[in-house]
Structure 1
């Protein structure tokens, strides 16, 4: 799995980018190299917004990768959802729908009708998972990882400010150098809202410098600031509530 996004659609969170610590090459060159190394991979060009690359090679049988595209929404999912039946019913999906279909429909429901806040959409997913989604119609990124960090999921920023996401830490390090780190457990990221905790959605998120085995700063980890609450306009409750602008 590889996703490369331009900073216009996926601005990196504070602390992830370390000045003067770029990798050996740009994310654009990385994507080209991966396409050549894995000719069987599915490559989706998102125009100026970026690139998605999906391959089922060397995947874990317990945490498989899935890819789907629906109405210009592209999603790569890795892992396994435990409450699939419940979510299929909740989103009105057919029996044949799988995990990646659930994520796309959950996102589309949030975008179009907004019956739930974005943090609840992710929190309702039970299991081991990480996913990255791009909506061409709104030029929006949506990605998340479970609260246990069960699926390998890494991100970083290259020298030109592009956000790089992959399940392979070496791929991210190659493009981003020390401006890379594991994606934080129990968090989700959106174009409009940035990085947020879905377990503590009302609290601010703060970066904490991440130190590697050599004692050098390498990207950042993120934690919830228990003392700082977000200044948000909460939609009214009831059937008229609309959270579609909150994702």
Structure 2
């Protein structure tokens, strides 16, 4: 799965834009779309969104099945599987045919429409191995999450124009971001309005740890982790926002 969004929707943490040792040129959003299409021929779908943003879905694998849904202008790509789907379907009033992606859309709608509501409360109820990318085109909101163990691959980084890129394919994001990427931290969520937080430790900051050469001349890696020494003043919460109008073009490969 792949997502690229401009800074007005999802501003990457500044550490993702730090130059790394031996970093090649970053690609534009359009160039990344072409790389995705060329690497995933025949079994990919590209959702082209306004202002050059897009979501991409490649073929699923047996170890990490994927479900995709578009409901009420909300796009969700879910990779992995939940162990408590039956309970979640009952809680959100969904049918037995509802996929994990549909469950996440309903969970997000609760988060969006019943403000104030802490996002960590929504995600900590999920049991299983998962990562998902959700975009609300009306609210212009990006929502990401990864399970506590980091069982399903999800990376994020910055493109040449400072857009946020998220991808499950390490080779694709490496080619797109010029090595300026890192694993999305396990047990964390990212929301456009509130940024990066831990859903198990919402009162503690998730901090970027920068690893440098022995002489400090080059940055070799950037890792995000919970900083138990830095406490936040309050839990980030979601509120209702004004509607956003836009059109979507879907490309099937």
TM-score where L is the length of structure 1: 0.87
Matching of residue 245 in structure 1 with residue 239 in structure 2: yes
Match of 1:152 in 2: 153
Tell me which stretches of 4 or more aligned residues in structure 1 moved more than 4 Å.
none
Does the 8 Å contact 1:79/1:151 carry over to 2? yes
C-alpha distance 24-13 of structure 1, shift in aligned 2 (>3 A): closer
Matching of residue 54 in structure 1 with residue 48 in structure 2: no
C-alpha distance 35-65 of structure 1, shift in aligned 2 (>3 A): same
The number of residue pairs the alignment matches comes to 235
* Cα deviation, residue 65, structure 1: 1.4
Match of 1:25 in 2: 27
Does the 8 Å contact 1:156/1:219 carry over to 2? no
CA–CA separation in structure 2 for the residues paired with 1:227 and 1:246 = 32
Deviations, residues 73-93 of structure 1 (Å, cap 9, x unaligned): 001110000010111111111
Moved more, 217-226 or 61-70: 217-226
Match of 1:225 in 2: 227
* Cα deviation, residue 223, structure 1: 1.8
Output the aligned Cα RMSD. Answer: 2.3
* Cα deviation, residue 98, structure 1: 1.2
Q: Any gaps of 5 or more consecutive residues in structure 2?
A: 242-253
* Cα deviation, residue 96, structure 1: 0.8
Q: What are the within-5 Å matches in structure 2 for residues 162-241 of structure 1?
A: 162-210=163-211, 217-232=219-234
Match of 2:74 in 1: 73
C-alpha distance 218-94 of structure 1, shift in aligned 2 (>3 A): farther
* Cα deviation, residue 39, structure 1: 4.1
Deviations, residues 185-226 of structure 1 (Å, cap 9, x unaligned): 1111010011111110011221101469xx953452112221
CA–CA separation in structure 2 for the residues paired with 1:142 and 1:49 = 18
CA–CA separation in structure 2 for the residues paired with 1:246 and 1:184 = 27
